[in-house]
């Protein structure tokens, strides 16, 4: 089955562990060779920076640009960076695997609105507004109620509007609840939660409430199903694939079958924290099997695997041409 994933941390992991291989072939959970064999046609590659590892936001921005460049350096006969629906379709026709660039940590903008355009011109089509720290855009998810209620800062609202104008997806995964609702309020385009699950099934602040799921669906966006066991179950053990299916079913019930996608978070945590039997992208068929056993229809699975996310890309990515 044709599929596409909205979030993996492979690029950042390869940059840290140069001995692991290349984007084409490596020892991590994701590489292009295995993606192609598993019928994947496109992958969102996150350029993730942990601000705590750098002296300041300027250095973090430089690091994000280096990660972006590392993906462009992989472009070759069978791989390209795509930035819109037509570019994805053209890549598939040309039998090229497509990568879509994202930046995970909006703090790298460091209060400079022109950086949104800089990232866009380098091929970035999704920005995760926060990671785990407060930044110039807003505050992250938190178990602290006061922090969780904080909305976007004025600069954050400006960033959301500029992203809408350019054609860059607004990603609310990691964001505070208050920030989420501001994105619903201020974004004129569909928003995405690139790698989040259902808070009703697993009470982690990284997950979305039923009300939030409904709001994403009503906005025309998608929620990417996250494969991290700690976001699937509150039990201190590896989740079963059936829990992944349960989260998908609840998303369908709350947000609608057009609002569910994949946001695996591959290479964002250790393999042992993936659902049982799932070791990497090459075993994705186990997910389709789990969906079928849980009563998710083949039509719904096809939408989750590819159709819903492609629709959002068509609606929200690449509005502005880059000279």
pLDDT tens-digit readout, 49-71: 999 999 999 999 999 999 999 99
DSSP for residue 153 = -
The pLDDT value recorded for residue 323 is 62
Rounded CA gap, 248 and 18, in Å? 35
What secondary structure letter does DSSP report for 3? E
What pLDDT shows up at residue 16? 85
- Residue 137's φ and ψ, nearest 5 degrees, are -95, -45
**What's the whole-model pTM score?**
0.97
- Counting as low any pLDDT under 70, the low residues of the chain are 19, 323
What are the beta bridge partners of residue 102? 46, 126
| CB < 8 Å & 24+ apart, contacts of 138-147 | 138/175, 138/176, 138/178, 138/179, 138/182, 139/175, 139/176, 139/178, 139/179, 140/174, 140/175, 140/176, 141/174, 141/175, 141/176, 141/177, 141/205, 141/206, 142/176, 142/205, 143/205, 147/176
What is the per-residue pLDDT for 2? Answer: 98
CA distance 158 to 116: 10
Pull the structure tokens for residue 18.
């140069």
pLDDT digits (tens, 9 = 90+) for 120-169: 999 999 999 999 999 999 999 999 999 999 999 999 999 999 999 999 99
In this structure, are residues 178 and 150 in contact, taking their beta carbons and an 8 Å threshold? Answer: yes
Q: What are the structural domains, with CATH classification, of the chain?
A: 3-316 (3.20.20.140)
- pLDDT value for 20: 76
Residue among 175, 177, 58, 202 at smallest CA distance from 225: 202
| Other Cβ atoms within 10 Å of 256 Cβ, number | 17
Look-up: residue for tokens 């936001």? 57
Question: For position 77, what pLDDT does the model report?
Answer: 86
Note whether 223 and 206 are within 8 A (CB): no
């Amino acid at each position: 089955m044709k599929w596409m994933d909205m979030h993996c941390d492979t690029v950042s992991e390869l940059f840290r562990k140069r001995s692991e291989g290349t984007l084409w072939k490596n020892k991590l959970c994701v590489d292009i060779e295995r993606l192609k064999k598993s019928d994947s046609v496109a992958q969102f590659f996150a350029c993730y920076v942990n601000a705590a590892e750098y002296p300041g936001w300027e250095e973090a921005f430089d690091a994000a640009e280096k990660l972006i460049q590392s993906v462009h350096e992989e472009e070759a006969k069978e791989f390209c960076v795509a930035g819109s629906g037509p570019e994805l379709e053209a890549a598939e026709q040309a039998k090229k695997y497509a990568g879509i660039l994202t930046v995970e940590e909006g703090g790298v903008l460091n209060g400079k609105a022109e950086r949104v355009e800089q990232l866009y011109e380098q091929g970035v089509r999704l920005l995760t507004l926060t990671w785990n720290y407060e930044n110039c855009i807003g505050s992250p998810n938190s178990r602290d109620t006061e922090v969780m209620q904080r909305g976007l800062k004025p600069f954050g609202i400006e960033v959301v509007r500029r992203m809408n104008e350019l054609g860059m997806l607004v990603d609310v995964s990691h964001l505070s609840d208050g920030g989420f609702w501001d994105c619903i309020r201020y974004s004129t385009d569909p928003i995405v939660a690139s790698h989040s699950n259902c808070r009703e099934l697993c009470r982690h602040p990284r997950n979305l409430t039923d009300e939030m799921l409904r709001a994403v669906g009503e906005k025309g966006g998608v929620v990417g199903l996250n494969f991290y066991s700690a976001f699937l179950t509150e039990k201190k053990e590896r989740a079963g694939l059936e829990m992944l299916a349960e989260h998908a079913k609840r998303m369908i019930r709350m947000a609608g079958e057009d609002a569910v996608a994949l946001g695996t978070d591959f290479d964002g945590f250790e393999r042992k924290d993936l659902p049982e039997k799932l070791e990497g992208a090459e075993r994705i068929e186990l997910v389709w099997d789990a969906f079928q056993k849980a009563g998710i229809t083949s039509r719904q699975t096809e939408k989750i695997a590819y159709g819903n996310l492609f629709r959002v890309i068509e609606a929200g990515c690449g509005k502005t041409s880059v000279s």
